[in-house]
Structure 1
Amino acid sequence: MVTITTENIMQLYNATVTQEFTISPAGFHNNSSVNQTNGFKCINPDTVKWLETFQPGFLWIIFILGTIENAFVLIVLCFHKSRCSVAEIYLANMAFADLMFVSSLPFWAINISNGFEWPFGLFLCKAVNTTSYMNFYSSIYFLTLVSIDRYLALVKTMSLGRMRRTTCAKWNSFIIWMCALFICLPTMIFRNLQYFKEFNITACSLDYPTPYWHPANNCLLNTVGFLIPLCVITYCTTQIIKALRSNNLQKLKLIQTERKATLLVLAVLLLFVICWLPFQISTLIDTICYIAQNLECLEEINDIVTQIAIYCAFSNSCLNPVLYVIVGKHFQKKAVEFYKELIPERCRKSQSVKTENSLDTLRTSISSEYLRKKSVLPLSQ
């Protein structure tokens, strides 16, 4: 089997993240002796080789951490005795989206290690990519709904209370999932198993009917997938910060509770922007390179930058649960209460009896010592 270097990176970029490339045999950059002269002009081939080697291990790490952490968040939020708030419903859906996403990463880790020979069949080729693609759109719009909920809680506290009902939140979540699935339809349709004779592999790749799908998909990512929700989030966030600084609101006890929840939301929003902004910038550069078609050096450099941006974006799926534990005081309380309930009642009673007996012994010892001293003192007088 012929070794693939740059295309490994491009194919991984295609498969596991949202940006999708039209793959054709002519697009492959081969590092073998067959095509050694057509190597890289502007980047060090060792960098590409290092990224190719690094990818499977990184994907496995993200899969393990993301699965454990997001499963923990879902268990606490879904099985706690108290009902989830509106913001928690959205955050639970986001954790579920991240869990779906990290569950798809082992397929691509194995695929990369296998030289991009896809061994899992056509159904999983479509399903794994659709799952990966849905994660990005659903996550950003669940965050948008969370920021809108915080805006309604702190800024429009009286006028739009009906929109903060849990029933409404569940319907909103359903609509987000359906819209994300609709946007993923091109991925479901055009992802196919394609045989590349030059490299003797059958790869899971995109087969767009026309080349214009590629820049159109990039524009969809930049606008619908980032720019529009970012504008909504920015507006809500600025209004929330103003409300939190208001002296009138700070006096209300209810607002103090909402403020704690809002700090967690703002931290999650900031983390998402930091993790995904580099990827959005690289997507925009890719569109420029596609339109210009004479920026070979920029295209090669952007391929490397894109991989680093992808690692940053992937990390978001396992960093959110860490934020819930560190910043989310209400989540911490729920987690402690939930796992206390898992401890058998007999163990808790036994522990409480031991504690009570220890206290009784301590009290008896102190009382005896006090009486002994009291009886000795008169004699000394």
Structure 2
Amino acid sequence: MPAMHPTEPWSPSPWAGSEDYSGSGALEELEELKLCPSWDLPYSYAYIPVLYLVAFAVGLLGNAFVVWLLAGRRGPRRLVDTFVLHLAAADLGFVLTLPLWAVAAALGGRWPFGESLCKLSSFALAGTRCAGALLLAGMSVDRYLAVVKLLDARPLRTPRCALATCCAVWAVALLAGLPALAYRGLQPLPGGQGSQCGEEASDAFQGLSLLLLLLTFMLPLGVTLFCYCRISRRLRRPPHLGRARRNSLRIIFAIESTFVGSWLPFSALRAIFYLARLGALPLPCSLVLALRWGLTIATCLAFVNSCANPVIYLLLDRSFRARARRGACGTIGRLARRVSSASSLSGDDSSLFRSGACSWGSFQPVQSVSGPL
């Protein structure tokens, strides 16, 4: 059959190609009907693997440091610390899969690691993305209760409730990742050039994926926006919050904004992709190519988010920078006396705390004041 004219609508068949996360996009040419021609972004096989490996290195070191900092902290932990700790663990699980997708991108989408690793890495991506969105929504609700409903919410703002919420988030995330185990696997690349790690293009999976996208991203996003709109209204009215608490809110808002900015383009394009696969949204060939390239860029943007939070802490939190310098000192840091940290990650706005900062000869105490997030 001759190729379809570029202006003719595209209605994908259930046996359309599959999606991969290597950066090569989500829409493959229909082999049976030879519909829309498609091309990868120029030189994507070169810069996408480098981007993934940089995100892996930064995300591994940064998130592991955050987990070490909070998990090893003695004494009572604030409620928001629980959310930050689990969020860092989710990002850590995400970045561990990035070297696999970097290799696949360098090979033009070919997956050399077998079907088991394909399923497990896809499961990890789906589960940790869902966990990240839900944990940030939980953090937003906690901030809303702490700022807007301070007195009324005390029975809900307990360490047991925070831990139970995080456990519930992980349970939902594991369930959200199960379709990847069932429907993702090795799919043949066009032209018989090997196999890629992709999904079965069945209508059942497309509909289920669209539903999960709405429930695990759009719904938490709506909750987050509602909470921060109410918080913003509260901040404009007296009595005004102290500087420390405002700074903590600013850090959390930066984390939330970065997550939304990174994942919203991917989620929006994926929703269009699912609708097109289901035949509910016919597309001309020019839009098919734009969707493919857009998903390539959006996937890179979303994956880089896994290393963003430690960078935000480093840029906006003085005490975190001090702790990072202290950790980088190695042996000198271990010889210094244990000090408390008063950052957006730990602390109390009724106290003054000191963090060790590294110098060439010895530790110089750096004083930092911060409040509960």
Whether these two folds match at TM > 0.5 is yes
Kept in 2, the 8 Å contact 1:154–1:258? The answer is no
Instruction: Please name the residue that 1:108 is paired with.
Output: 101
Residue 281 of structure 2 is aligned to residue 279 of structure 1: no
Match 1:298 to one of 284, 287, 295: 287
Q: Percent identity?
A: 26
Whether 1:57 aligns to 2:50 is yes
Alpha-carbon distance in structure 1 between the residues aligned to 2:182 and 2:89: 24
User: Deviation of residue 128 (structure 1)?
Assistant: 0.7
Choose which of 20, 31, 48 in structure 2 pairs with 1:14.
Answer: 20
Contact in 2 for aligned 1:268/1:320 (Cα 8 Å): yes
1:168 equivalent in alignment to 2:157:
no
Question: C-alpha offsets along residues 298-327 of structure 1, whole Å, 9 cap, x if unaligned?
Answer: 111111111111222122111211111222
Partner of 1:151: 144
Mapped contact 1:90–1:146 kept (Cα < 8 A): yes
Q: Which residue of 1 aligns with 2:247?
A: 260
C-alpha change, 1:261 and 1:196, in structure 2 (3 Å) is closer
Asked if 2 retains the 8 angstrom alpha-carbon contact of 1:126 and 1:188, the reply is: yes
What amino acid does structure 2 have at the position aligned with 1:246?
R
Matches of 2:154 and 2:257, distance apart in 1: 26
Inter-CA distance 16–141: structure 2 relative to 1 (3 Å threshold): farther
Structure 2 residue 324 is the aligned partner of structure 1 residue 318: no
Q: Partners of 1:318 and 1:237 in 2: how far apart?
A: 23
Structure 2: tracts of 5 or more residues without a match? 1-16, 338-357, 363-373
Where 1:55 maps in the other structure, the secondary structure is helix
TM-superposed CA distance for 1:101, in Å, is: 0.8
RMSD: 3.3
Query: Equivalent residue of 1:264, what SS?
Result: helix
Q: CA shift at 1:27, angstroms? A: 7.8
Task: Report the alpha carbon displacement of residue 28 of structure 1 after superposing the two structures with TM.
Answer: 11
How far apart are the structure 2 equivalents of 1:102 and 1:63?
Answer: 5
> Is the Cα–Cα contact under 8 Å of residues 70 and 96 in structure 1 kept in the other structure?
yes
Query: Which amino acid is 1:260 matched to?
Result: N
1:220 to 209, 212, 215: 212
Of 89, 105, 120 in structure 2, the residue corresponding to residue 127 of structure 1 is: 120
Cα offset for 1:90? 0.7
Q: Partner letter of residue 21 of structure 2?
A: A
Partner of 2:235: 244
Aligned to 2:41: 48
2:199 to 197, 206, 212: 206
**Is the 1:116–1:201 Cα contact (8 Å) retained in structure 2?**
no
- Superposed CA deviations along residues 31-77 of structure 1, whole A, max 9, x for unmatched, are xxxxxx9744xxxx5x6232233222221111111111111222222
Q: Hey, what does 1:89 align to over in structure 2?
A: 82
Structure 1 residues 159 and 331, CA gap change in structure 2 (3 angstroms): farther
Letter in 2 for 1:26: E
Matched residues in 2 for 1:345 and 1:55: separation? 42
SS at the partner of 1:49?
coil
Contact 2:119 2:184 in 1 (8 A): yes
**TM-score scaled by structure 1?**
0.74
Aligned-partner Cα distance in 2 for 1:259–1:75 = 26
> 1:313 and 1:194, CA in 2 relative to 1: closer, same or farther beyond 3 A?
closer
Note if 1:26 corresponds to 2:31. Answer: yes
- Amino acid across the alignment from 2:225: T
Contact 1:218 1:287 in 2 (8 A): yes
Q: Secondary structure at the match of 2:196?
A: strand
Alignment match, 2:341 = none
Count residues in correspondence. Answer: 321
Query: Matched residues in 1 for 2:125 and 2:260: separation?
Result: 18
The change in CA–CA distance for 1:240 and 1:212 in structure 2 (over 3 A counts) is same
Residue 112 of structure 1, CA deviation: 2.9
Paired AA for residue 95 in structure 2:
V
Partner of 2:7: none
Pick the structure with more helix per residue. 1
Deviation at residue 195 of structure 1 after TM alignment? 4.9
Residue 269 (structure 1) aligned to one of 242, 256, 275: 256
Cα distance per residue 1:9-33 (max 9 Å; x no partner): x86x53369xx9697972898xxxx
Give the match for residue 359 of structure 1.
Answer: none
Code of the residue aligned with 2:192 in structure 1: it is: F
Structure 1 residue 289: Cα displacement: 3.3
Corresponding letter in the other structure for 1:104: T
Whether the 8 Å CA contact 1:272–1:316 is kept in 2: the answer is yes
Distance (whole Å) between structure 2 residues aligned to residue 271 and residue 21 of structure 1: 23
CA contact (8 A) 1:94 1:138 kept: yes
Distance (whole Å) between structure 1 residues aligned to residue 129 and residue 253 of structure 2: 19
- 1:25/1:278 CA distance change after superposition, 3 Å: closer
Cα–Cα, structure 1 residues 118 and 111, in superposed 2: closer, same or farther, change >3 Å? same
Q: Measure the CA separation in 1 of the matches of 2:323 and 2:78.
A: 12
TM-score (norm: length of structure 2): 0.75
Query: 2: distance between equivalents of 1:16 and 1:261?
Result: 36
For the residues of structure 2 that align with 1:55 and 1:160, how far apart are their CA atoms?
Answer: 46
Mapped to 1, the partners of 2:193 and 2:51 lie a distance apart of 26
Query: Judging changes above 3 Å, is the alpha-carbon distance between structure 1 residues 149 and 330 closer, same or farther for their aligned structure 2 residues?
Result: farther
